[in-house]
Amino acid sequence: MSTLPPLDLSADVLAVTRALVDAPSVSGSEGPLADAVEAALRALGGLEVERIGDAVLARTNLGRPTRVVLAGHLDTVPIADNVPSRLDEATGRLYGCGTSDMKSGDAVMLRLAARFGVPGAQPAHDLTFVFYDNEEVESARNGLGRVARERRGWLYGDLAILMEPTDGEIEGGCQGTLRAVLETTGHRAHSARSWLGVNAIHALTGAVTALAAYRPREVEIDGCLYREGLNAVGISGGVAGNVIPDEAALTVNFRYAPDRDEDAAEAHVREVFADATAAGATLTVVDNAGGALPGLSEPAAAAFVAAVGRPARAKLGWTDVARFAAFGIPALNYGPGDPTLAHTREEHVLVDRLQPAEDALTAYLSGSTA
Ligand SMILES: [Zn+2]
């Protein structure tokens, strides 16, 4: 592990973004960057700082009646010849792995820490900063999940803002996601004497027809429109070109609005496939992560929406906001990056999105627009 040069948090948000991008931190190798972030936060002098693995936690303790939690992951997907960062002046784009997802968001957080985490600063809310590791890999390794298990108190607040890329829009809550496998069985036979067999693939017909005819729900919650979807995402079966198959499996993914919890989502999927299971198919839920309500009617969230000055929209993908929602904390996604560029070789962030994100949060956290 190498030591990185110190982070200069007095530099502008573009320079801080570049410094973060130029410090590679693929999931599992966040150590040196976490060291640099921890040292920079400790040097500010107005924050309680704690390190848990490669997660860095920092907070003010000013006795304010409300607390806002800002969270961002430090890791990136594997580098694709796109580190160090490259600034294209003509198009106003900063290219590099993590520029959108989500080191530009981390840079905004660090700039806010530099403003509000110094002795004598007077933010309108107490602030908690959570920089965490291993977001881009399997959920069991997720650093925010580890903090939730080991230091839950660090995540409590009146509002959590996750600085994942949203193109500078506020995206409320997130949808849940459930994956299930429907398996049918039959009886193997030579296809020349197919009447002696029972075809497991044909037994999926009703389920596939039900999916094709399925009318997904649209639900408006707190002014955000969530759009559900129940789709086949995989199908398998077949033994050989001359055999009636005795096994088949259909994998489905249900993306569900946050007014359903995990149990309600599973019950709904079981209802859709009730005919198939009544006919002998088995339905197994292999993965189910509940969503998060937008919570925009909560005063702390409403004040933030007012500060950004744009209507909030629904977050359709699953994000770590659900980990806050599990504690009953309203949580929003808001970040300067472009979500459609995340994980791409051409990943970049528009430079002119950076300062407005910092300014909107600064206004909100100073209480100047509340
Ligand atoms: Zn991300």
pLDDT tens for each residue of 194-222: 999 999 999 999 999 999 999 999 999 99
Return the pLDDT at 138: 87
Given the residues 30, 54, 75, 338, the one annotated as active site: 75
Q: Where are the beta strands (DSSP E) in the chain?
A: 48-52, 55-59, 67-73, 86-88, 93-95, 126-132, 159-162, 171-172, 176-185, 189-190, 218-221, 224-227, 229-237, 243-244, 247-256, 282-289, 313-314, 331-333, 348-350
What is the CA(102)–ligand 1 centre distance, in A? 5
List all residues 6 or more positions away from 279 whose beta carbon is below 8 Å from its beta carbon. 203, 206
Q: Which domains does the chain have, with CATH numbers?
A: 13-173+292-366 (3.40.630.10), 176-289 (3.30.70.360)
Given the residues 35, 135, 320, 347, the one annotated as active site: 135
Return the pLDDT at 32: 98
Strand partners, 176: 256
pLDDT tens-digit map of 96-151: 999 999 999 999 999 999 999 999 999 999 999 999 999 999 888 999 999 999 99
Return the pLDDT at 1: 53
What is the CA(100)–ligand 1 centre distance, in A? 8
Return the pLDDT at 370: 42
* Largest Cα–Cα separation, the chain: 86
Which residues in the chain show pLDDT less than 70? Answer: 1-2, 369-370
Instruction: Report the alpha-carbon distance of residue 206 to residue 37 in Å, rounded.
Output: 55
Residue 75 annotated in active site: yes
Burial (CB count <10 Å: 0-12, 13-18, 19+), residue 217: middle
Residue 88 annotated in active site: no
Residue pointed to by tokens 């970049």? 348
